[in-house]
Amino acid sequence: MAVWIQAQQLQGEALHQMQALYGQHFPIEVRHYLSQWIESQAWDSIDLDNPQENIKATQLLEGLVQELQKKAEHQVGEDGFLLKIKLGHYAKQLQNTYNRCPMELVRCIRHILYNEQRLVQEANNGSSPSGNLADAMSQKHLQINQTFEELRLVTQDTENELKKLQQTQEYFIIQYQESLRIQAQLAQLGQLSPQERLSREPALQQKQVALEAWLQREAQTLQQYRVELAEKHQKTLQLLRKQQTIILDDELIQWKRRQQLAGNGGPPEGSLDVLQSWCEKLAEIIWQNRQQIRRAEHLCQQLPIPGPVEEMLAEVNATITDIISALVTSTFIIEKQPPQVLKTQTKFAATVRLLVGGKLNVHMNPPQVKATIISEQQAKSLLKNENTRNECSGEILNNCCVMEYHQATGTLSAHFRNMSLKRIKRSDRRGAESVTEEKFTILFESQFSVGGNELVFQVKGRVPFAVPDKVLWPQLCEALNMKFKAEVQSNRGLTKENLVFLAQKLFNNNSGHLEDYSGMSVSWAQFNRENLLGRNYTFWQWFDGVMEVLKKHLKPHWNDGAILGFVNKQQAHDLLINKPDGTFLLRFSDSEIGGITIAWKFDSQERMFWNLMPFTTRDFSIRSLADRLGDLDYLIYVFPDRPKDEVYSKYYTPVPSKAVDGYVKPQIKQVVPEFVSASADAGASATYMDQAPSPAMCPQAHYNMYPQNPDSVLDTDGDFDLEDTMDVARRVEELLCRPMDSQWIPHAQS
């Protein structure tokens, strides 16, 4: 069902929130009459940070205006006449508003559609019996909204109490002035005759006594009102601080954690729109209470009455200042993080955003944000308020940007699109630290005025580089699986068997049960500093090599389930032992980073299992895995029992058509000479460079293409040096560059 149809069924607060999305920047009538067209456009496909996408945004704006004009022209009748005028007016209005900034239209409509979908989803979850159980987040959001309603009511109550106090105090001042006037009249009675003074003095004295008694009672009442108001503000601030803790320390920190995970392969962190709406409500309520407290202080200064109120007001004023400072500081966030690894002279981008900029009118005088790169130690010193503000560890080009306010979405942000690290200043490394372990952070700073007070804000919320020394294996499994799926861009993640294999490799343990590793910890040194036993690389280097070769060359085969991958040589033999000859599997090499090898079964006099030297990214850039497998006819079944051509034929390179200009086009094909000779007695079909039949040639002619005593391309002993690996295809490519003997020409043309 279309989102707009469901949005029209919203009720209560949800309907009010939906209506608040629209205004002069985008009328709700446009959404209604062009709902189908709007929802069918690819708004999310446009990168708002890429100026080159401006053309697409302009096309969408033109399309929207044309659709509105078309809709207006089709209106007939009395009602249609008014609608025709209104839609035509909206078409001109949108054209004038977004003609110079079409990206803002895209940003606006994306904001509207996202919030409509969110409101509809929350409403559907709330009406579904299973929704309340499945969506605990909606319950939490409901609780937050209920607290906001409570805060709104108590703030309105203190506003009414403040007005009552002000009226009472103003009347008190009037009566106090009357008392002073009577005192002046009594003082002037001495100038009158005794008879006239006696006639007037008793009445004035009686009035003065009554008025002073009233003033005394009313002063106590005023003091009581002031104390009660201050106590109510104290309770309001307690509730405000609790609500702010939930939003900033729970919800916003969770968003930042999701952002961290997204940078390492996790799901997207999600939109900030809901968080911004909460932060804006906080800012609005905090600001209202702050203004009330300042007005109460002014009333006390206007009419000083001895008592505890001054101290109470000073306390709540300090508290509200702390609250608003924490809110502004915590909501100045990095919306789009820079890359985790920076290279000099390489462009990178980042976006910072102030979630409360619109409500606090910061956008009226847009502040400038500056980015500097600092070291790990400088970042920690900065959090301790040590004087390191003028120090930096490098130079970033294009590191200053003015924050921009987007009226349609109400966001205040700064987009750093073309930053570049010009140079970096390295410190002395500790112990066995490598250069890749030296950490830096980019500090974003901005200075602006909030409510007449100048503040300097920096990104806070966690201690920088606070990484635990060790993590449990299950935690690392989750991170590895998330990173693997993101890097390879595959929904096929790591299975339980894959994780057992990785645990065996990391811990040098033979246990085949994942549960046996659940209590084991992995240190950073184990992960990426110490080499694996008997190898010259670390665990992470090996795992990263696997992801690299899959991502660049083998992703479709991994997604098809055609690569078993995470098994060692002995496990591969155990899997193949009961399979028919010609069954093979692909596994990641134990000896070479980013290598993948073929293990197959063929029972001959020499051996039963055969292992080909590993292929790497360099090899697959010359000839693909599918073509290499297609070259080897004796590989028949993909483990466990799938015909090879059924799995790989769709990836074979098409056979080129015969040349018509007299030239012969050479081809590169996979060949394993040792296997051909070893399996000849068993009746295996020989696989040569060119498999076309040629009775005029003997098999020996094929071997003449290789140097005498060629290196073995088979893994005979199981363990071999990395230097011993070779790539037959590269050897053939070198040979093809030499002049061909005439005896090959007729054969190649056949």
Average pLDDT, stretch 293-308?
Answer: 88
In Å, how far are 35, 257, 336 from 466, measured between CA atoms?
A: 48, 13, 21
Residue 235 confidence (pLDDT) above 90: yes
Amino acid at 482: M
CB of 396 closer than 8 Å to CB of 440 = no
Range of 246-255, 649-658, 721-730 with top mean pLDDT: 246-255
* Superfamily holding 3-126: STAT transcription factor, N-terminal domain (1.10.532.10)
Q: Report, in angstroms and rounded to the nearest whole number, the Rg of the chain calculated over CA atoms.
A: 39
- pLDDT score of 363: 60
230 to 189, 322, 701, 726: CA distances (angstroms): 44, 17, 102, 83
What is the spatial distance between Cα 120 and Cα 17, in angstroms, rounded to a whole number? 11
Site of tokens 């060119």: 690
Q: What is the pLDDT of residues 462-507, one digit of tens each?
A: 455 555 667 888 888 888 888 888 788 887 888 888 888 898 888 8
Overall average pLDDT of the 529-539 stretch: 83
Q: CA separation (Å) from 707 to 546, 711, 728, 730, 735?
A: 32, 9, 12, 13, 10
Could you tell me the sign of the dihedral formed by the alpha carbons of 536, 542, 546, 552, in that order?
A: negative
> How many angstroms separate the CA atoms of 560 and 684, rounded?
29
Of residues 374 and 748, the one with the higher pLDDT is 374
Q: What pLDDT score was predicted for residue 701?
A: 33
pLDDT tens digits, residue range 337-358? 888 878 888 888 888 888 887 7
Work out the number of other CB atoms within 10 angstroms of the CB of residue 504.
Answer: 17
The topology under which CATH files domain 338-354+362-426+435-448 is Immunoglobulin-like (2.60.40)
- Listed in sequence order, the DSSP H helices in 436-554 are 473-488, 496-507, 524-528, 539-549
CA dist 744 and 736 (Å) reads 12
Q: Check pLDDT > 60 for residue 58.
A: yes
Give the strand pairing for 637-638 and 609-611.
unpaired
For residues 617 and 628, what is the distance between their CA atoms, to the nearest angstrom? 14
CATH superfamily of domain region 470-651: SH2 domain (3.30.505.10)
d(Cα 4, Cα 22) in Å, to the nearest integer?
A: 13
Q: Cis omega before residue 308 (within 30°)?
A: no
Is 442 within 8 Å of 371 (Cβ atoms)?
A: yes
pLDDT of residue 692: 33
Question: Count of CB atoms within 10 A of residue 399's CB?
Answer: 20
pLDDT digits (tens, 9 = 90+) for 655-694: 766 666 667 777 777 777 766 655 555 444 433 333 333 3
Please determine, for residue 732, whether its predicted confidence score (pLDDT) is greater than 50: no
The SS3 call for residue 441 is: strand
Strand order through the sheet with 642-643 = 609-611, 596-601, 583-588, 637-638, 642-643
pLDDT tops 80 at residue 707: no
**102 vs 372: CA distance, rounded Å:** 31
Q: What is the distance between the alpha carbons of residues 587 and 715, in angstroms, rounded to a whole number?
A: 14
The whole-angstrom separation of Cα 750 and Cα 748 is 6
- The rounded distance, in Å, linking the Cα atoms of 447 and 445 is 7
Q: What is the pLDDT of residue 233?
A: 93
Regarding pTM above 0.85, the answer is no
- Do the domains 3-126 and 470-651 sit in the same CATH topology, yes or no? no
Tokens for 31, please give them: 């959404």
Query: For the ranges 25-39, 356-370, 587-601, 718-732, which has the lowest average pLDDT?
Result: 718-732
CA atoms within 13 A on the CB side of 640: 3
CB 426 within 8 A of CB 375: no
CATH superfamily, with its number, for domain 158-328: STAT transcription factor, all-alpha domain (1.20.1050.20)
Query: Is the model's pLDDT at 130 over the cut of 80?
Result: no
Give the rounded distance of the alpha carbon of 544 from its chain centre: 22
Interval 631-651: pLDDT, tens? 888 888 888 888 888 888 888
Q: Which residue has the higher pLDDT, 92 or 469?
A: 92
Average pLDDT over residues 691-707: 34
381 membership: H or E segment, kind and range: helix 376-383
Q: How far from chain centre, in Å, is Cα 140?
A: 22
Which DSSP state fits 394?
E
Residues 587 and 565: beta-carbon distance below 8 Å: yes
Those residues whose C-beta lies under 8 Å from the C-beta of residue 512, and which sit 6 or more positions away, are 500, 504
Average model confidence (pLDDT) across the chain: 77
pLDDT recorded at residue 138 = 64
Domain ranges of the chain: 3-126, 158-328, 338-354+362-426+435-448, 470-651
CA distances from 467 to 149, 229, 266, 340, 604 (A): 39, 47, 18, 15, 54
pLDDT > 60? residue 458:
no
Across residues 261-277, what is the average pLDDT? 77
Residue type, 680: A
In sequence order, the 6+-apart residues with CB closer than 8 A to the CB of 431 are none
